Amino acid sequence: MKSYSETLSTIYFGRSSADRLYIHEKISCIPITKIETGNSKRAFSIIGYSCEEGVKRNQGRMGAVNGPDAIRKQLGKLPNHLLEDVAVYDVGTVHCMNGDMENSQKDLSELVSQTLNQNHFPIVLGGGHDVSYGTFNGLKEHLSNSGSIGIINFDAHFDLRNNQPEDLTIVNNSGTPFYQIAQDCKQNETPFKYLCLGIRKDANDRTLFETAKELDVKYIMRDTFRIQFHNEINAWINAFTGSVDHIYVTIDLDGFSSAYAPGVSAPSPMGFTPDVVLESLKTIMGSGKLRALDIAELNPDFDVDNQTAKLAASLVHYVIHDLP
């Protein structure tokens, strides 16, 4: 895997303690192939996807390539409330070499599959939202057709752009991953199950809404995706999770309002808030079907006081502490 690099333990730092009170004292940076099967009750493996080629192709602003390490730096400072028999690893980063995003996605898929084969829960840090094509395929490879996979995307965008248009002006990019997955599902005669939370009209043209309708995509618009409607949102989530065997969650940070996430590829003040995402994640995790998670589109070049990186790190912190 030429595009792979191990993670240096020095990327994780923070306060020191005698009782491993902080995540940087809990996490181990080891390649997945060197981790011995232990007695851990649960193991999480963090994977970096250092790629902004998809953002570049999608005409977004550059900088997402540095997203994984920016999240790592903030995660290490957070407190550790995990039990001793819960392990947290960082198993390295996949890099995009010479603009070859497709090969990076294949390498990510392989690494995600290896992680799942070790009974670790993979958490992938991006990088552009093209990360999803790699994460999904890694999960699919691991499951080997043993049950249906439902995708839940926290995002302002459908990311259903046609990667095979007649004018050939669009190729695979950060806006095409779920269209690519849908086409793969059609070819393999498997169901395409996709739920989007936080969709906005000002973030998707009408052809994307038409594509969503053709593919029977379920979605909740931003004006409904609010904490005061959490009972209705949870009902949608429960109906969706009940219709599939496994769940893959992807969180696009540009779906949040720029008041919370200024450091993204496509910021907007009209996005959603962290509280409704946490409430929704609680419901998803409660289903017992969550198998993989990734976080996309952090752009530290435009972050303010590491606010967006801290948000991403807190989301990771929440999942590793509250996943049943």
The reply to whether 129 sits in an annotated binding site is: yes
For 297-319, how does the pLDDT look when each residue is reduced to its tens digit (9 = 90+)? Answer: 999 999 999 999 999 999 999 99
Name the residue among 240, 125, 281, 256 with its Cα closest to residue 203. 256
The reply to whether 301 sits in an annotated binding site is: no
What's the angle, vertex CA 71, arms to CA 68 and CA 72, rounded to 5?
85
Mean pLDDT of all residues in the chain? 95
* Cα 277 off chain centre by: 13
Mean pLDDT over 193-200 rounds to: 98
For 102-115, how does the pLDDT look when each residue is reduced to its tens digit (9 = 90+)? Answer: 999 999 999 999 99
* Omega before 286 within 30 of 0, i.e. cis: no
The reply to whether 223 sits in an annotated binding site is: no
The reply to whether 85 sits in an annotated binding site is: no
The reply to whether 157 sits in an annotated binding site is: yes
Tokens representing 129 are 């939202």
Could you give the count of Cα atoms lying within 13 Å of 161 in the half-sphere of its Cβ?
A: 20
Give the number of other Cβ atoms within 10 Å of residue 299's Cβ: 29
This prediction's pTM: 0.97
The reply to whether 294 sits in an annotated binding site is: no
- List the domains of the chain with CATH numbers: 4-322 (3.40.800.10)
